[in-house]
Amino acid sequence: MRKRAPTFNRSPIMSVRVRFAPSPTGYLHIGGVRTALYSWLWARKHGGEFVLRIEDTDAARSTQEAVDVILESMRWLGLDWDEGPEVGGPHAPYFQTEREALYAEWAEKLIASGHAYRCWATKEEIQAQREAYEQGRGGKKGFKFRSPWRDRTDGDPSQPHVVRFKAPREGKTGWTDLVYGDVAYPNKEQQDFVLIRENGLPLYNFGCFVDDLTMGITLVTRGDDHLVNTPMQLMLYDAVGAERPQFAHLPMVLDASGKKLSKRSPGVGVAVLDYRDGGYLPAGVLNYLARLGWSHGDEELFTLEELIAKFDWKGVGKTGSRWDKKKLAHVQGHHLRSQDDATLAKLVTPFLAERGVEVAADDARLVNAIAPVKLRATTLIDLAEGLDYLFRPDAEIAPENDKAAKHLKPATAPYLEKVLEVVRATEPFTAEALAGPIESWVEAEELKMGKVAQPVRVAITGRTRSPGLFETLELVGKEASIARLEQALERARAAE
RNA sequence: GGCCCCAUCGUCUAGCGGUUAGGACACCGGCCUCUCACGCCGGUAACAGGGGUUCGAGUCCCCUUGGGGUCACCA
């Protein structure tokens, strides 16, 4: 059953400082972005700071390219950071690999105060203890290394060693999570986890602790797969006598089958940039992401400003949520249609270029065509598809498939002829001016508008779907309409 | 397996002891209509199971079941 998470009641005097701390793995995970979004919204809502920190202590995976992908993803989404890479800040550097001295310093403090110790145990020793455990208990899981160095001080610091935390073995360590409420872990489950490894770099829990502490983070947000790490970090705050930050853990984003969303999830893009390249708008992705796991009554559609105003932690649910492409498409389509035409014209240009259509973003024909076409589009790619025929040379306009081609046949030639005649005679060339003559002719001949419209539509667009016929004729223009109708007429007469 | 977390329509969710269990996506009808959309109207569809507490449980407690996370010199 759901328990109501406590409300955020930190003193308003204390500023909000939140951070997003991805590790550079080659792409920015869309689920991670939801965490970033909630944090960002919280910071913006309270006029606090949003810090971007790169957790790159896993040297094997971290590359500059991977960092660039993170920054580009965040920029595209519009989640701007107040401190972090490129913008700097009072707590620089913001790359963990550049903060090595700081970790060493805090490790020394912990050793000096008796909360941590140097451990010279070798991998072989640990392995031997592990094997003994497995044989003794008959199980492989739950092994906890008990270092012989926990209470010794006679090692040689010049020899390779790690630094371990002297974890308490009795009692419990708990906190009040902004999403999950009261959570506690028994200390006996803890082992003397490593703070600093042999190569001098900190392990996740220690790096995270030192950075969050020294960067003055007031609220730590992350995926609920980190729930189990929280006690370790809490112990560290307690050990140095520092005030603990608040924590908010977010449920996972799952794929359609209910598994944690990953690059292997079928049919779903996990990388943020997949959505940029797929023609989605940040507003659509962010709105969908916000609602996935957070709710505000019955409301579904939000602008970014509304999200900032309405977001709160008590609206965040505790259950993992599945990624629903259809619903994303719905929300995205709404945001696409909400954009003004000039903006969309600018945004769609690259997608048109990708299709070989070069047109200026402020081209009047482009801007004028946006309104009717965006009603029929979900993404910028759809928009580009729907705009494409307007800018192609007349000679390139041809039925896009068999279904379209079937509308151009001898039987429909008379319709094309009639419309061609009207097109030639109409001036000014507007949808209103064209509608009258064509509609009255259709009526007089006792035809159905559909019978006439489809062949004409295919003639001037090559497609069976487009905005209203008269509107489309106007958009295509008089000259091009004539050329395309003549061309289609030939096709129709030549067809079987 | 230990520890921790979770559980309302297919999906995302509202619900904070008394509701015909609401909304959204999807789906199915219908309207609009020159196509396709958009939009509008209507419909199918859920409290995992079992015990308690209570005058009264989707709401509180316990158990079961199911799902997830985590057990590193990864993050």
Nucleotide nearest to A123 (CA to C1'): B73
- The pLDDT score that the predictor gives to residue A135 is 84
**Integer distance in angstroms from CA A38 to C1' B73?**
33
**Average pLDDT of A451-476?**
97
Report the mean per-residue pLDDT for chain A.
Answer: 93
Q: Which of A216-225, A249-258, A394-403, A455-464 has the weakest average pLDDT?
A: A249-258
Q: What is the pLDDT of residues A274-288, one digit of tens each?
A: 999 999 999 999 999
The span from the CA of A281 to the CA of A263, in Å, is: 21
**Average pLDDT of A406-433?**
96
Reduce the secondary structure of chain A to three states and give it as a string: CCCCCCCCCCCCCCCCEEEECCCCCCCCEHHHHHHHHHHHHHHHHHCCEEEECECCCCCCCCCHHHHHHHHHHHHHHCCCCCEECCCECCCCCCEHHHCHHHHHHHHHHHHHCCCEEEECCCHHHHHHHHHHHHHHHCCCCCCCCCCCCCCCCCCCCCCCCEEEECCCCCCEEEEEECCCEEEEEEHHHCCCCEEECCCCCECHHHHHHHHHHHCCCCEEEEEHHHHHHHHHHHHHHHHHCCCCCEEEEECCEECCCCCECCCCCCCCCCEHHHHHHCCCCHHHHHHHHHHCCECECCECCCCHHHHHHHCCHHHECCCCEECCHHHHHHHHHHHHHHCCHHHHHHHHHHHHHHCCCCCCCCCHHHHHHHHHHHCCCCCHHHHHHHHHHHHCCHHHCCCCCHHHHCCCCHHHHHHHHHHHHHHHHCCCCCHHHHHHHHHHHHHHCCCCHHHHHHHHHHHHHCCCCCCCHHHHHHHHCHHHHHHHHHHHHHHHHHCC
ipTM field: 0.96
* Closest residue, by C-alpha, to the C1' of B70: A228
Nucleotide nearest to A205 (CA to C1'): B75
Q: What is the pLDDT of residues A222-261, one digit of tens each?
A: 999 999 999 999 999 999 999 999 999 999 999 888 888 8
Quickly tell me which residue has 């009554």 as its tokens. Answer: A297
- The pLDDT score that the predictor gives to residue A138 is 62
- The pLDDT score that the predictor gives to residue A214 is 97
Q: What is the pLDDT of residues A111-167, one digit of tens each?
A: 999 999 999 999 999 999 998 888 876 667 788 999 999 998 899 999 999 999 999
**Average pLDDT of A286-297?**
96
Q: Is A263 a catalytic residue?
A: yes
Nucleotide nearest to A139 (CA to C1'): B1
Catalytic residue (one of A140, A263, A314, A403): A263
* Closest residue, by C-alpha, to the C1' of B69: A225
Nucleotide nearest to A4 (CA to C1'): B16
* Closest residue, by C-alpha, to the C1' of B58: A1
- The pLDDT score that the predictor gives to residue A399 is 96
* Closest residue, by C-alpha, to the C1' of B1: A141
- The pLDDT score that the predictor gives to residue A14 is 66
**Integer distance in angstroms from CA A387 to C1' B34?**
19
pTM, full prediction: 0.93
- The pLDDT score that the predictor gives to residue A259 is 82
Kindly report the bases of strand B lying within 7 A of a protein C-beta atom: 1-8, 10-16, 22-26, 33-39, 58-61, 67-75
The span from the CA of A118 to the CA of A107, in Å, is: 10
- The pLDDT score that the predictor gives to residue A3 is 37
